[in-house]
Chains A and B, each alone.
Chain A
Amino acid sequence: ETGVTQSPTHLIKTRGQQVTLRCSSQSGHNTVSWYQQALGQGPQFIFQYYREEENGRGNFPPRFSGLQFPNYSSELNVNALELDDSALYLCASNKNQETQYFGPGTRLLVL
Chain B
Amino acid sequence: AQSVTQLGSHVSVSEGALVLLRCNYSSSVPPYLFWYVQYPNQGLQLLLKYTSAATLVKGINGFEAEFKKSETSFHLTKPSAHMSDAAEYFCAVVFSGGYNKLIFGAGTRLAVHP
Contact = CB atoms under 8 A, between A and B. Distances in A.
Contact of A58 (B41, B44, B49, B101): B101
A15 to B, nearest CB: 25
Interface residues of A, number: 29
Contacts of A55: 99
Contacts of B99: 48, 50, 55-56
A72 interface: no
A102 B36 contact: yes
Interface in A25-64: 31, 33, 35, 40-45, 48, 50, 55-56, 58
Nearest to A42: B104
Contact of A99 (B34, B41, B106): B34
B90 A43 contact: yes
A78 interface: no
A42 B99 CA distance: 19
Contacts of B102: 33, 35, 43, 45, 92, 100
A98 B106 CA distance: 23
B114 interface: no
Of A4, A6, A104, A107, the most chain B CB neighbours within 10 A belong to A104
Given A42-B107, A90-B44, 4 more contacts: A43-B104, A48-B101, A98-B100, A102-B44
Interface of A: 4, 6, 31, 33, 35, 40-45, 48, 50, 55-56, 58, 90, 92, 94, 97-105, 107
